[in-house]
Amino acid sequence: MNTKKKRMLELVELLNRARRAYEQEDTEIMSNYEYDKLYDELQGLEQELGTTLASSPTVNVGYEVLSELPKERHERPMLSLDKTKEVSRLKEFLQSQKALISWKLDGLTIVLTYRSGTLQKAVTRGNGEIGEVITNNARVFKNLPLHIAYKGELVLRGEAVIGYDDFEKINAEIEDVDAKYKNPRNLCSGSVRQLSNKITERRNVRFFAFSLVRADGVEFENSRKKQYDWLSTQGFDVVEHHMVTGDTIESEVEWFAHKIEDNEYPSDGLVLVYDDIAYGESLGTTAKFPRDSFAFKWEDEIRETILTEIEWSPSRTGLINPVAVFEPVELEGTTVSRASVHNISIMEELELGEGDTIQVYKANMIIPQIAENLTRSGTCQAPDVCPICGGKTRISMENDTKTLYCTNPECQAKQVKAFTLFVSRDALNIEGLSEATLEKFIVRGFIKDFVDIFHLECYEDEIKSMEGFGEKSYVNLKNSVENARKTTLPKLLYSLGIANIGLANAKVICKAFGNDTKRLLDAKVEELNEIPGVGEVIAQTYVDYFAEETHRELFRRLLEEVEIPLEEEEGQKQIFEGKNFVITGSMNHFANRGEVKELIERRGGKVTGSVTSKTDYLINNDIQSTTSKNKKARDLGIPIISENDFLEMLEE
């Protein structure tokens, strides 16, 4: 087989595999830089040989996204844009025409349909011909009008995006975010395609219109600019755009290049579209590209530097990601010294080794990446043990990608949820230790077990220098830790995270054993079984936990760190004995519903989460509310009382 034809086949297979991984599986087997470089090489070979394979990514618009969302065929196929990195090519495209230049936003393309002034349908781009129906999710986009003044049928296209600020905030709150969402585009895609729009709503997705497909009866005087202006009058945010000619294109590209450094939303380039609608439509399309528009991607600013090490960063999923650490360089106006390598496959593909001369750049002028390894020593190897816990690692092959995992189920990096419970409000109540912060402290070795949380002053300088921290944040955290030293025995027992032991169970167990810590450690299944509300399963779980000496020792060490005041004598009347309460809504007189619950339990009552025929009172300050709990309480004839009513009951 001809060498060039063979190379073309290799490129088609490799690029399709990379795109499939990115679009269907949310994983990356190569950088954007590498993909673009190989894509350009394939295009060059196709032009040289005069051959284009049916499976080539240069003619196939994209893969169908896999999900459980309903599918729908687009009325008009959504084509990709031809692209260039040369301003001279844009000048050639413009000739004597005027055009609009705007951001090429990096999110998820959506087609919206409005009828009679109301949003009727929202469909993702999908593979260009068939998309996913996400109408319910679009209804909760932060800036999307659900009703507009225009009453005819309106069809428009735009980009759903998540801003960098929201990405950083949300990133820390999303389960397994390290494994799933590496950038705002992936987070946006996952958010828009949720089966529950409650999740979408929390992600702060925004929509920016970039193309009007149809609006019958509206006169736009053959101008894209007037279409954009009209869309704005209907309440849509339109992608930022400027009018441009061949004489001004260079200065406009330069303007956007400077603006991207502070741009709130991710962009992977610019788009040029003719203002003259009729002229643009008269040009038609190629098999893949419309001829009325063109995409521009900046030439990446590339710097050479020396790779000093590969740092291995574990996450709560057990995944251990390689991170390249290199001698600092200036890129796009900032100093850069680290870049994610994503997985072992990319590390091996680049043949990375300490001391290698590498080229680095910022993808989309934002995210540091390795473009090329010039010396390719290939000496970097995946570690045999986890850098956090020392447990054995294993290499897993998933979707043609090698990834590294820690096999130790007790690895601290995997125990973020346990640490999160330990510092939660019902446990030790330590403010300033979010799940994301705990994960950072664990990865850096500041926290190995619960006791270490009480000695974070050992890492004062390191914490103050961390991103998002400073003197004030550190002092607040230190004070919160000190305040947590004064607690109760039930809260300490609950904070251990023993399976099936909630705060209510912890309270009855501590009370049954007279708050005697030795008796708590040595409790027998038979003794626990005798406690009302405990039962055999909980009893066995409890005993199994303290059967391990490491757990007993941890509990003893924690007792040395905290101060547990003597319990007040049970002099309070058990006025709520045998009564069941449900608490809902916000509190006015109490800090939170937990305080009300504690008070009820101290007076002999019980608090449950849902209204049933056994409920005696529903506490809700909004007595007239039409919520499901209020409705059920009314249907069952259960009294709905306010906080004031509850306080009066206490005084009786």
* Side chain identity, residue 543: V
Residue that is written with structure tokens 């939303």 in the block: 265
Q: Give the containing element (helix H, strand E) for 190.
A: helix 184-192
Q: Identify whether the C-beta of residue 403 lies closer than 8 Å to the C-beta of residue 341.
A: no
CA distance 320 to 413: 10
- DSSP 8-state symbol, 563: B
**Lookup: tokens for 631:** 């409705």
| Residues contacting residue 76 through CB under 8 Å, at least 6 positions apart | 213
For 271-294, the DSSP string reads EEEESBHHHHHHT-B-SS-BSSEE
Half-sphere exposure of 46 (CA within 13 A, CB side): 18
| Residues contacting residue 41 through CB under 8 Å, at least 6 positions apart | 7, 11
Q: In terms of C-beta density within 10 A (0-12 exposed, 13-18 middle, 19 or more buried), how is residue 360 classed?
A: buried
- DSSP 8-state symbol, 356: -
CA distance 165 to 207: 16
| Residues contacting residue 637 through CB under 8 Å, at least 6 positions apart | none
CA distance 289 to 275: 18
Question: Could you give the 3-state DSSP secondary structure of residue 340?
Answer: strand
Q: Which of 104, 182, 362, 606 is catalytic?
A: 104
Question: Could you give the 3-state DSSP secondary structure of residue 302?
Answer: coil
| Residues contacting residue 498 through CB under 8 Å, at least 6 positions apart | 541, 542, 545
Q: Identify whether the C-beta of residue 138 lies closer than 8 Å to the C-beta of residue 206.
A: no
- DSSP 8-state symbol, 223: B
Query: Rounded to an integer, what is the distance from CA 58 to the centroid of its chain?
Result: 31
**Lookup: tokens for 641:** 């009382």
Residue that is written with structure tokens 């004839």 in the block: 637
| Residues contacting residue 456 through CB under 8 Å, at least 6 positions apart | 441, 446, 447, 463, 477, 478, 481
Helices (H) and strands (E) in the chain, counts: 25, 22
130, 131, 133: which is closest to 195 by C-alpha?
A: 133
CA distance 152 to 114: 8
- Number of other residues whose CB lies within 10 A of the CB of residue 163: 18
Active site residue 104: yes
End-to-end CA distance of the chain: 95
- Cross-strand pairs, 398: 401
What residues act catalytically?
104
